[in-house]
Structure 1
Amino acid sequence: MKFFSDPVLEAMATRRSVSKVGPETPSDAEIAELLAAVTPVADHKALRPWRLILLRGDDRARLGAALDAAAGTEREPGELNPKPFRAELLIAVVASPKPHPKVPEWEQHATAAGAAHLLELALWQTGWGVMWRSGLLANAPEVRAVHGLAESEHLMGWLYVGSIDESFRARMRESNRPALDPQQFLGRMPR
């Protein structure tokens, strides 16, 4: 499926959320390299009101325990919350607003979301599958504490990152899924 001759526009048009990712993941160094494509995100007054937390290995078990504590879920000894184990790498996206008289907090949250989406695109373009997940418990006290969030910060969810199964890639190549009609998103100011 080819929409555009420009590779950036093509990556944007063909990006898909991958709900089931494989076990291979980019290294921390690869993610740091991809951040060069993320840091130019639209950012009024260049406040950089976001940060990322990489969760691998036992960090996922700690997140699962925090989610269970927040939900009041009790498990059998040795049983783990399976949700954080749907990927080997989770990237927590944190909105970290800075006080500024000309940049409201909501705008800084939008910048953090923009940075996360640019990272999704960068990961997608380099061959990784990504699913942005959140949930009602993302900012529960137990979950905030395990991420070490400051009072002013907001956890916007996690990017679940991993390899893409070849059969999924083949289905995407063969897909006839039409692009959304852009006209539904365009309008004019009322007179």
Structure 2
Amino acid sequence: MTAPTLPSHTVAESRAGVRPGGPALEAVRARRSWSKVTDEAPSHEELLELVSAAGRVADHSSLRPWRLIELRGTDRERLGRAIAKAEGEKGASSKPLRAPLLLAVVASYRKSGKVPRWEQEAVASGVAHTLSLLLDEAGWGVIWRTGHYTRSRAVAKAHGLEKNEELLGWLYVGGKPARERAGHRKPLDAGTVLSRMPQPKKSSKA
């Protein structure tokens, strides 16, 4: 007698001992970008725990080719002046003042014969995205902002970047407005982006 086929979620449960649709899945499903936030922000101590967890992303050869920089208070004003300089404008840009806390995401490239530059940048990006999920789950509003000026000399200098480093943007972090309506994103049809490796064509020769 043939054994009945178990549903995929039951098989997953028996293998991993956990139920499907756990905290990680729900955190990803619930994530959204918050363009407007309140003046509240996580403390340095709160960040340490979340950054430590975000650092668990896949990292070929454990190079740790990334670092983060906290910008609070007048740090944001200094960044505003650097952005204005990069844009060829006078004064200071108000963009960095949109959130009480900015976390600069820095790709800090290491010399390696096995891990190319693009892969190291992917690690830094992975840390930033994972951290944004953790911050969102902890109740903070987050949006990852970039711009062509991220690679400008003035902005790099303001952050104290070394020659082997590049800025990938900032996580703008603050409190979630109480009356802000939840954003809506069109569901992804996973079948359009998940496929199998193409099979080799059969030869027409006899």
Is TM more than 0.5 here? Answer: yes
SS across alignment from 1:137: helix
1:94 corresponds in structure 2 to: 106
Deviation per residue, 1:127-150 (Å, 9 max, x gap): 000010010111100000000111
Q: Percent identity?
A: 51
2:39 corresponds in structure 1 to: 23
Separation of aligned partners in 2, 1:100 and 1:18: 37
Compute the displacement of 1:36 (Å): 2.5
Separation of aligned partners in 2, 1:176 and 1:42: 30
1:33 corresponds in structure 2 to: 49
2:187 corresponds in structure 1 to: 179
Compute the displacement of 1:176 (Å): 6.8
Greater relative CO, 1 or 2 (CA 8 Å, sep 6+): 1
Equivalent AA in structure 1 for residue 164 of structure 2: S
Note the residue ranges of structure 2 that are not aligned, 5 or more in a row.
1-19, 200-206
Equivalent AA in structure 2 for residue 67 of structure 1: I
1:150 corresponds in structure 2 to: 162
2:175 corresponds in structure 1 to: 163
Separation of aligned partners in 2, 1:118 and 1:28: 18
2:190 pairs with 1:190: no
- Structure 1 residues 151 and 189, CA gap change in structure 2 (3 angstroms): same
TM-score normalized by the length of structure 2:
0.84
2:99 pairs with 1:65: no
Note the residue ranges of structure 1 that are not aligned, 5 or more in a row.
none
Runs of 4+ in structure 1 over 4 Å off: 175-178
- Structure 1 residues 82 and 176, CA gap change in structure 2 (3 angstroms): closer
Equivalent AA in structure 2 for residue 153 of structure 1: E
Q: Alignment partner for residue 127 of structure 1, among 126, 139, 143?
A: 139
Separation of aligned partners in 2, 1:92 and 1:178: 29
Across the aligned residues of Structure 1 and Structure 2, the Cα RMSD in angstroms comes to: 1.4
1:43 corresponds in structure 2 to: 59
2:72 corresponds in structure 1 to: 56
Separation of aligned partners in 1, 2:58 and 2:23: 21
Larger radius of gyration: 2
SS across alignment from 2:150: coil
Compute the displacement of 1:190 (Å): 2.7
Q: Alignment partner for residue 96 of structure 2, among 67, 71, 84?
A: 84
Compute the displacement of 1:189 (Å): 2.4
TM-score normalized by the length of structure 1:
0.90
